[in-house]
A and B are shown apart, each in its own frame.
Chain A
Amino acid sequence: MITFMNNSDSEEEPCNERTSLMSAESPPVPSYQDGQQASEAGEAHAHRKRRTGSSRSPNNATDGDVSDSGVPVRESTLENEEEELTLKYGAKHVIMLFVPVTLCMIVVVATIKSVRFYTEKNGQLIYTPFSEDTPSVGQRLLNSVLNTIIMISVIVVMTVFLVLLYKYRCYKFIHGWLILSSLMLLFLFTYIYLGEVLKTYNVAMDYPTLFLVIWNFGAVGMICIHWKGPLQLQQAYLIMISALMALVFIKYLPEWSAWVILGAISIYDLMAVLCPKGPLRMLVETAQERNEPIFPALIYSSAMIWAVGMAKPETAARGPSQQMWDTAEDRGEDHRSPSHTNSQISERRSPVPTRPITSFEELEEEERGVKLGLGDFIFYSVLVGKAAATASGDWNTTLACFVAILIGLCLTLLLLAVFKKALPALPISITFGLVFYFSTDNLVRPFMDTLASHQLYI
């Protein structure tokens, strides 16, 4: 396993994966943006998003501005409707993200708790060369910090490489890379996973059946992820892939290094997405300029976009930077990101038409979803899986981390609604998760254990 990992760098890919949360809308036109803040995260109503900046502020402000003409009044009532729908759909999209994140975590925790293989120490990745088997605490800490530095620099290098490839339009190379990595994940890692699960439950299986099962699973996965397939099947495959990658990380990252890496990667995420020269931000901006989706295959999207054609009349009226995201195309692209993909939550709002839209067909909603990068799935699952694997308080710690991560995700989505641009999905959740892990493991566990031993309830 170690030698294989030495040979291919594609396993590095998932850790460089995009950690981004995006809504599938184009950036708003400044015309109607009164600096109002959106009250919702990442929804998209293509045509209703005329006032994409529609905010929570009372409508008095808008009414006051447009009290004279009938048309603006009508627009402001439309705006109210939009805001309300925004909220309703926003909450729905939050739930739509909760479900896959929860499923991924459940798969990881269930595997960790039952299959011994993923908690045994069988060596380390080459990206974390320093061993943690040292006698002194200081030495161990130093080794884990060094491991983290190496891992993060590998991630940075690969991200920059990916951004350069994207900038210079080497699409074939990127696609080849993504296909290779998803091949490896879908076939090799699944084979190993299935083997270990069968071993754990002592189920006999012959090679021909195994070959058939894995071949079908892998082939359908490749088609669904890189080409076309039913949305739910694609989502299921993405969740499986993220879980597999998270399991690999849990197995091969040494204890303290894993925690330091989690912390460092959320800081990196924050910087890469928000700093003006950050690689991920440049990636997003380049993609926006070119009106292309950013490696959609590496992003989990919660809903499909349809009726792209309806946007065309409006696109003509807008500037080049406002384009709708064609998530239908997105799903056709590679999902595996061997490279760093954006760690961002970007909210793309549909462009605002320059005149009021009153016809019903244009007011029809497009069910757009929120997009979350696969790297986010992976690191959330790594955190929860590590908590399940190593915490002595067992389930309490795992549950606390789970709740913390979900609340972090909620808050991030709220911020997405407020700021309406690409935001990193990792920092808040991982911070909450780490704080809850360490505090629950060290403070709450003895308290609850003592209470339980006396059968006291609080």
Chain B
Amino acid sequence: AFFWLVSLLLASLIWFVSVHLSDQEDAKLQYGLLIFGAAVSVLLQEAFRFAYFKLLKKADEGLATISEDGRSPISLRQMAYVSGLSFGIISGVFSVINILADSIGPGIVGIHGDSPYYFITSAFLTMALVLLHTFWGVIFFDACEKRRYWCLGMVVASHLLTSGLTFLNPRYEASLVPIFIITLCMGLWAFITAGGSFRNILECLSCKQENDSRVMMYSALQVPFED
């Protein structure tokens, strides 16, 4: 969460500086700068995700060296999940909490001609974003671990695409539906990356008791060894 916040801070700084250096009256320019700011922010978020991956890798190695069996207590996959989830939570919270706070107060949605579905679509978009960040975290870490750079590129590209789709926003069918489709695809991809498969789901759903594969050997009573 901290890393995401720092990336947001830097992106806001860049946007702020660019806005103040430019003509404040020109609405088109401001909109363009906003797009630019959003793109920069997406790229910075991914860069910080990578930095966080590096940090966790180092920590993982440290944990592994001091542990008894040479393995660290939490796996890189768990770390990927946690990292993605926390990016998602802080990103979602930052996007939606002010809207939530305003939704308590008195008011009418869309009285100036905006969409009356603002709140509900914000809620859905935030949910999609949180899930997406989680999935991206898993895929990203796995891609970095296995050095599959095209996966990294896909993650960054899909993030840019998602953010870009929100620019179509009052036309919700154009933005919300594709974003959910992207979420589903990313979810499947992350599931497969994390080692899931159709069989796993079946096993989980059928609630099979895990057979204890250890075999107990009962030998005849023996006198204990005298060494």
Contact = CB atoms under 8 A, between A and B. Distances in A.
Interface residues of B, number: 45
Contact of B34 (A58, A396, A450): A450
Interface of B: 1-2, 5, 8-9, 11-13, 15-16, 19, 34, 37-38, 41-42, 45, 62-63, 65-68, 73, 90-91, 93-95, 97-99, 101, 118, 121-122, 125-126, 129, 162-163, 166-167, 169-170
Interface string A281-296: 0000000000000000
A456 B65 contact: no
Contacts of B15: 447
A447 B16 contact: yes
Contacts of B118: 455
A325 to B, nearest CB: 26
B97 A446 contact: no
Contacts of A454: 34, 167, 169
B169 A87 contact: no
Contacts of B45: 458
B163 A447 contact: no
A443 B98 contact: no
A456 B99 contact: no
Contacts of B166: 455-457
A432 to B, nearest CB: 9
Contacts of A39: 62, 66
A394 B12 contact: no
Contact of A403 (B2, B38, B122): B2
A92 to B, nearest CB: 12
Contact of A84 (B67, B93, B125, B162): B67
A458 B38 contact: yes
Contacts of A446: 12, 16, 19
Contacts of B126: 457
Contact of A436 (B5, B62, B93, B99): B5
Interface residues of A, number: 37
B66 A87 contact: yes
A457 B1 contact: no
B155 to A, nearest CB: 15
Given A395-B101, A403-B1, A447-B37, A456 B94 contact: no
23 contacts: A56-B62, A58-B66, A83-B66, A84-B67, A394-B97, A394-B101, A403-B1, A404-B5, A439-B9, A444-B12, A447-B11, A447-B12, A451-B34, A451-B38, A452-B95, A452-B98, A455-B118, A455-B169, A456-B38, A456-B169, A457-B126, A457-B166, A458-B8
A400 B1 CA distance: 9
Contact of B2 (A404, A440, A455, A457): A404
A454 B163 CA distance: 12
A400 B163 contact: no
Secondary structure type dominating chain A contacts: helix
B65 A56 contact: yes
A88 interface: yes
B74 to A, nearest CB: 10
Given A56-B62, A443-B16, A446-B16, A81 B68 contact: yes
A84 B62 CA distance: 11
A183 interface: no
A84 B97 contact: no
B132 to A, nearest CB: 10
Contacts of B8: 444, 447, 458
A59 B65 CA distance: 8
A455 B62 CA distance: 43
Contacts of A452: 95, 98-99
Contacts of A197: none
B9 A444 contact: yes
- Pairs A-B, 8 closest by C-beta atoms: A447-B12, A443-B12, A395-B97, A444-B12, A455-B169, A457-B166, A458-B41, A407-B2
Contact of B94 (A59, A396, A404, A436): A396
A416 B220 CA distance: 56
Given A395-B98, A399-B97, A403-B1, A457 B9 contact: no
A448 interface: yes
A190 interface: no
A457 B101 CA distance: 18
B125 A457 contact: yes
Nearest to B3: A407
Contacts of B90: 399, 403
Residue of B9, B41, B121, B167 with most partner-chain A CB within 10 A: B9
Given A399-B93, A403-B1, A457-B95, A80 B169 contact: no
Contacts of B99: 452
Interface string A67-107: 00000000000001101100110000000000000000000
A458 B7 CA distance: 11
Contacts of B13: 439, 443
Interface string A318-354: 0000000000000000000000000000000000000
Interface in A405-452: 407, 436, 439-440, 442-444, 446-452
A87 B62 CA distance: 11
B94 to A, nearest CB: 6
